[in-house]
Chain A
């Protein structure tokens, strides 16, 4: 990762710019960007704490709350199946991420280091699989899921999410494995280690940052997944958070904006929380997959 190495050096000529000029060309545009990018979250958060009377009145300042309330969260958690959706999402994300990581580590190590016959085409195939979008797969996949008797179950999602997680994680891990020196493996081979021992005791400990990147990226991807969850699950108690909020909380023409926003906020917090701890890994995962 050569990111951030140039950070200090590349600023060498900024002293040529005057302070007022920096305000116009740098600070003001960036503050506008940040405001626009964050405003929907602020709006989501503030709406979920507003009592209905304030939500639906046009007088007063809509940007602030006079009497904050937890009523929307109470309704969401005790009068809807939101806790079940949350639990489903956690299970599906964690299990499919786990399965994908194991499969990807093995595949990436085989392609990058075992160099079996056909390793190169296999790497190319993985990359092509990465480019196949879910929106052209969901119809035939729905037919397959029904045939396998998995329709309307968490298993349907756990087994289909790896189709977009494995190509991504494998591609990412291949890059990490490439950066581990051969000599380490050769030493181990001379000492009589098997390939499996090399993978578990030498390569994996060195690839921990890559594993974390792939893991949290895969976790957020499966947490955010929508179209498969919408198509393969029909009963409310099996839905995931994004699908449940979109399909179950909207009742007829009366939109319950408070609970809707509370649901969106609660559903976004876990990924935002995970992200905040692993920003660097996340960014290196995202940019690494693009740069290769």
Chain B
């Protein structure tokens, strides 16, 4: 008879001790909550990054065409590409383009960073303006370069003519070596700001007391650069140049806009060749195989970055 009353007395107490609801447990379980938070990013990246990465490798071993699923044909695409003179030329072009452009970007970018690190009038203005080539859409600035490199109306030819240095207009994009150099110039122009501003950030973390101490010891500016600036900047140089090499090696838009790979395939890079074969030509599998061929080089660049970072860790004696 007393039971209902007892129950009603116990009820509030039971609520205080009851198991937390599913939602509460979920909100306090870091594993469940962690994976729930990761979900949107994971879904997008797996579906549109990991899966295509695998699919691309698989396509390279098939004979897929646009609108037709391919069948496994083993190494046939790669065997064909190795014997294909255009592919070999594209590989040479890509390596040449990457090596020359990266060296120039590094040299000029480091120089610009050193200049910007000095005290200047309108310092913040200069720093802001220098980054413009990097933020403006490459396809659009490439169009400006296309016009600057025009065979008949090039402003560079015009200026050189007026100065009396040349007697006929230069065919910037019509001659194989001229075209290679012109595209490299455009690429360097676009890449310098990234290198310079990143290295500038590195320079600003170097304590000025090193320079003061070395000046007291009689170090010349060159010695200061060689024995203070360069060693302390090395870790950041490794990372910046890895990114720069990565961007340059996989460049597409600049070449597509300026030359589309011409003249005589002299400026074709792996990426533009893959596009031409796969999308314009419809040979999806062949293009995918060309893209797959770029992967070993990218891995080499990443390994380079990794060991650069390792070196920084032991240099600074940190356990990070």
**Which of the residues A55, A102, A128, A264 comes within 8 Å of B40, measured between beta carbons?**
A102
A24 within 8 A of B: no
Query: Chain B residues near A12 (CB, 8 Å)?
Result: 208, 211-212
Query: Chain B nearest CB: distance from A168 CB in Å?
Result: 11
Q: Are A283 and B204 in contact (CB under 8 A)?
A: no
Q: Are A290 and B144 in contact (CB under 8 A)?
A: no
Query: Chain B residues near A18 (CB, 8 Å)?
Result: none
Q: Are B139 and A246 in contact (CB under 8 A)?
A: yes
How distant is the Cα of A133 from the Cα of B252 in the complex, in angstroms?
A: 11
B222 within 8 A of A: no
**Which of the residues A36, A241, A290 comes within 8 Å of B239, measured between beta carbons?**
A290
Q: Are A163 and B197 in contact (CB under 8 A)?
A: no
Q: Are B112 and A139 in contact (CB under 8 A)?
A: no
Given A9-B208, A13-B211, is A246 in contact with B143 using a C-beta cutoff of 8 Å? yes
Residue of chain B at shortest CB distance from A15? B119
How many residues from A make CB contacts under 8 Å with B?
104
Query: Chain B nearest CB: distance from A260 CB in Å?
Result: 6
Query: Chain B residues near A263 (CB, 8 Å)?
Result: 140, 143
A88 within 8 A of B: no
B287 within 8 A of A: yes
Residue of chain B at shortest CB distance from A231? B279
Given A226-B252, A227-B253, is A116 in contact with B30 using a C-beta cutoff of 8 Å? yes
Q: Are A136 and B144 in contact (CB under 8 A)?
A: no
Q: Are B132 and A6 in contact (CB under 8 A)?
A: no
Query: Chain B nearest CB: distance from A1 CB in Å?
Result: 9
Q: Tell me which of B76-84, B173-181, B288-296 binds A.
A: B288-296
Given A6-B207, A136-B294, A137-B53, is A37 in contact with B275 using a C-beta cutoff of 8 Å? no
B74 within 8 A of A: no
Q: Tell me which of A64-72, A73-81, A105-113, A204-212 binds B.
A: A105-113
Q: Are B302 and A163 in contact (CB under 8 A)?
A: no
Query: Chain B residues near A136 (CB, 8 Å)?
Result: 53, 56, 250, 271, 291-292, 294-295, 298
Q: Are B41 and A37 in contact (CB under 8 A)?
A: no
How distant is the Cα of A29 from the Cα of B246 in the complex, in angstroms?
A: 28
How distant is the Cα of A275 from the Cα of B247 in the complex, in angstroms?
A: 21
B89 within 8 A of A: no
**Which of the residues A118, A139, A166, A286 comes within 8 Å of B288, measured between beta carbons?**
A139
B29-60 at interface with A (beta carbon < 8 Å): 30-31, 33-35, 37-42, 44-45, 47-53, 55-56, 59
How distant is the Cα of A138 from the Cα of B127 in the complex, in angstroms?
A: 34
How many residues from B make CB contacts under 8 Å with A?
103
Query: Chain A residues near B56 (CB, 8 Å)?
Result: 136-137, 139-140
Q: Are B144 and A264 in contact (CB under 8 A)?
A: yes
Given A37-B193, A226-B139, A242-B140, is A6 in contact with B208 using a C-beta cutoff of 8 Å? yes
B-side interface mostly: helix
Q: What is the 8 Å Cβ interface bit string for chain B, positions 126-148, against chain A (1 contact, 0 not)? A: 11111111011111110111011
Residue of chain A at shortest CB distance from B58? A140
How distant is the Cα of A29 from the Cα of B107 in the complex, in angstroms?
A: 14
How distant is the Cα of A155 from the Cα of B291 in the complex, in angstroms?
A: 25
Q: Are B275 and A106 in contact (CB under 8 A)?
A: no
Given A116-B30, A144-B52, is A138 in contact with B201 using a C-beta cutoff of 8 Å? no
Query: Chain B nearest CB: distance from A6 CB in Å?
Result: 5
B194 within 8 A of A: yes
Q: Are B129 and A282 in contact (CB under 8 A)?
A: no
**Which of the residues B44, B111, B291 comes within 8 Å of A139, measured between beta carbons?**
B291
Query: Chain B residues near A194 (CB, 8 Å)?
Result: 27-28
Q: Are B34 and A267 in contact (CB under 8 A)?
A: no
B9 within 8 A of A: no
Most buried by A among B28, B64, B275: B275
A3 within 8 A of B: yes
Query: Chain A residues near B104 (CB, 8 Å)?
Result: none
Query: Chain B residues near A44 (CB, 8 Å)?
Result: 141, 143-144, 147
B236 within 8 A of A: yes
How distant is the Cα of A267 from the Cα of B143 in the complex, in angstroms?
A: 12
Q: Are A14 and B118 in contact (CB under 8 A)?
A: yes
**Which of the residues A132, A220, A243 comes within 8 Å of B53, measured between beta carbons?**
A132
B170 within 8 A of A: no
Residue of chain B at shortest CB distance from A216? B135
Query: Chain A nearest CB: distance from B316 CB in Å?
Result: 13
B101 within 8 A of A: no
B192 within 8 A of A: yes
Query: Chain B nearest CB: distance from A271 CB in Å?
Result: 5
Query: Chain A residues near B275 (CB, 8 Å)?
Result: 138, 227, 230-231
Q: Are B240 and A290 in contact (CB under 8 A)?
A: yes
**Which of the residues B49, B126, B136 comes within 8 Å of A163, measured between beta carbons?**
B49
B278 within 8 A of A: yes
Query: Chain B nearest CB: distance from A154 CB in Å?
Result: 15
How distant is the Cα of A258 from the Cα of B96 in the complex, in angstroms?
A: 34
B215 within 8 A of A: yes
Q: Are B140 and A264 in contact (CB under 8 A)?
A: yes
Q: Are B204 and A163 in contact (CB under 8 A)?
A: no
17 contacts between A and B (CB under 8 A): A10-B117, A106-B40, A110-B35, A116-B38, A117-B31, A119-B34, A135-B251, A137-B52, A163-B45, A264-B140, A267-B137, A268-B141, A283-B201, A287-B197, A287-B201, A290-B201, A290-B239
Additional pairs, 6, CB under 8 Å, beyond known A275-B135, A282-B135:
A7-B204, A10-B211, A34-B126, A114-B33, A144-B55, A166-B44
Across the A-B interface, the 9 shortest Cβ-Cβ residue pairs = A116-B34, A110-B37, A287-B201, A242-B139, A140-B56, A135-B271, A140-B52, A133-B250, A107-B41
